[in-house]
A = this chain, B = another copy of it.
Amino acid sequence: MPTAADALKAHAELLALAREHSLLSSCADLLEWDGETFMPRGGVGHRAEQLAALAGVLHEKASAPRVGRLIEKAWPLGVDRGPDSPEAANLRELKRRHERAARLPRRLIEERARVAAVAQQAWAQAREERDFAVFRPWLEKIVELVRAEAAAIAPSLDPYDALLDLYEPGMTGAEISRLIAEIGPPLRTLLAAHGPFGKRRGRSGGAGPGAGVLEREFPTDRQKLFVQAVAASLGFDLEQGRLDVGQHPACIAIGPGDTRLTARYAERQFASGFFAVLHEVGHGLYDQGMDPADAGTPMHDAPSLGMHESQARLWENLVGRSRGFWKHFFPRLRNVFHEALARTKPEAFLAAVNRVQPTLNRAEADEVTYNLHVAIRFDLERSMVRGDLAAADLPEAWRAAYAAALGIEPSDDAEGCLQDGHWAAGLFGYFPTYLLGNVYAAQIYAAAARDLGDPDAAFARGDFSVLLGWLREKVYRPGRRFSAAELLRRVTGEAPAPAAMLAALQARYRPD
């Protein structure tokens, strides 16, 4: 019978091991960041091998039988301290991680890391050359590997659910399907009313005021300086992080004091660069807002990717497309890009950043169509994982899905199924977290507005610190102390539900 002292000792050893795991895992994060930003072309092969070796060591450590025994010994401590205690939270996550690792053969882990690293290069090349054939064999390999992974982790589950649970613990494909069914009709109604063929073109504006504003000349060097200044205004600490040009936008948290954002800029696509950075800033504010005392422990993370994503979407959209935000920033933007914006009215600019328009690109989609993009990916990836859709048939299935959902089709696969790098990275079951992010974001933002009053007035004064302070206290500092659903309940009083999101969209796009 283990004593209380045994449990304490086991818990302390587990935390030391967790810290080591987190440090080694953050080495892989730096390798990823470097691959995004500065790695020379010739380094690809070696980088893949480095990531595989690290993945192997991490797996070896996480799956060690000793860890299982320590968790068993320490478990009574979590029970004793109560389900909301840090000890219980850490033990829950350690158990989850250990069980998952113990079920996976090391060979599979290393193979997956190696293949993903090379597949991502093949994907980038395929996208550049607009040639799906370059990526197809790698996609086949990846699907095969994630299927093997799913079967190993949870042989009794639907394989897609096994993967989804990696990113959003406890979530299932069936629940995502229900959610999509619930939001689909109202989103389509909004699209019909406010999209380019809709009757209402006030603020949401099809070809109305502001059309083309965002496609004027915005020199990229000035975009970089401007978004850096905006990031700092929102509260992102650039002494404790960086903002670089990378292959695609990302937030990579290396460790406490080192949170790195990447972005891409194109001269005539101001919105795509700008809102992508706001998105990553949102992720970055979450990472910078966690309790440093938890660093290295399982607590020092968001409870789920959906919850993390919620903060990216909150800052990108609920803050970044608001009237108050642009009341503050538009005059500054116009000073920086005077050639492009000298004669643009603030209202027209606000309309442009809120335009509803079916497009082929998820990352740059407006808030109304965004979730429809995610729904398409969810259907396709679930079919691939279940073996109902062959990789070779993906381009055709993609085109059909876009035609059905948005009435448009990509002219090639670069605009189509090659636009996102997730599958190349082996991330299946990840896309639904974007949808959940939107849902959680709207619920949390509504709760903030209830507590703080309409944040718009503060934004108009350039004050984002009241909102950030509230989010830090309620959402960021607790880290992974609670599950996503429990955290949401504590912050908003609600279970996950799309009503707040739909209400916010309906309010934003109400007839002027």
A interface residues, Cβ below 8 angstroms from B? 19-20, 23-24, 26-27, 30-31, 34, 37-47, 49-50, 52-54, 56-57, 237-242, 244, 254-258, 260, 295-296
Contact = CB atoms under 8 A, between A and B. Distances in A.
Given A30-B30, A38-B38, A242-B38, A257 B24 contact: no
B50 A255 contact: yes
A500 B247 CA distance: 50
Given A30-B30, A34-B34, A45-B256, A53 B40 contact: no
A247 to B, nearest CB: 16
Contacts of A39: 258
A74 B142 CA distance: 37
Contacts of A27: 27, 31, 50, 53-54
A64 to B, nearest CB: 12
A43 B255 contact: yes
A53 B20 contact: yes
16 contacts: A19-B49, A24-B50, A26-B46, A30-B31, A34-B34, A40-B240, A40-B258, A42-B237, A42-B241, A42-B257, A45-B256, A46-B254, A46-B257, A47-B255, A47-B258, A49-B255
A398 to B, nearest CB: 33
Contacts of A46: 23, 26, 254-258, 295
Contact of A23 (B42, B53, B256): B53
Nearest to A258: B43
Nearest to A20: B53
Given A41-B240, A42-B258, A47-B258, 19 more contacts: A23-B46, A23-B49, A23-B53, A27-B31, A27-B50, A27-B54, A30-B31, A30-B34, A30-B50, A34-B34, A40-B240, A40-B241, A42-B237, A42-B240, A42-B241, A44-B257, A46-B257, A46-B258, A57-B57
Contacts of A50: 23-24, 26-27, 30, 255
Nearest to A242: B40
A146 to B, nearest CB: 24
A57 B24 contact: yes
Given A30-B30, A34-B34, A56-B20, A239 B40 contact: yes
A274 to B, nearest CB: 22
A241 to B, nearest CB: 6
A290 to B, nearest CB: 13
Contacts of A40: 238-242, 257-258, 260
Contacts of A47: 255, 258
A242 B38 CA distance: 8
A127 to B, nearest CB: 20
Q: Max chain B CB contacts within 10 Å: which of A20, A27, A31, A34?
A: A27
A234 B477 CA distance: 53
B256 A41 contact: no
Contacts of A239: 40-42
Contacts of A49: 19, 23, 255, 296
Nearest to A23: B53
A49 to B, nearest CB: 5
A37 B49 CA distance: 23
A90 B449 CA distance: 66
B53 A257 contact: no
A240 B254 CA distance: 25
A37 B188 CA distance: 49
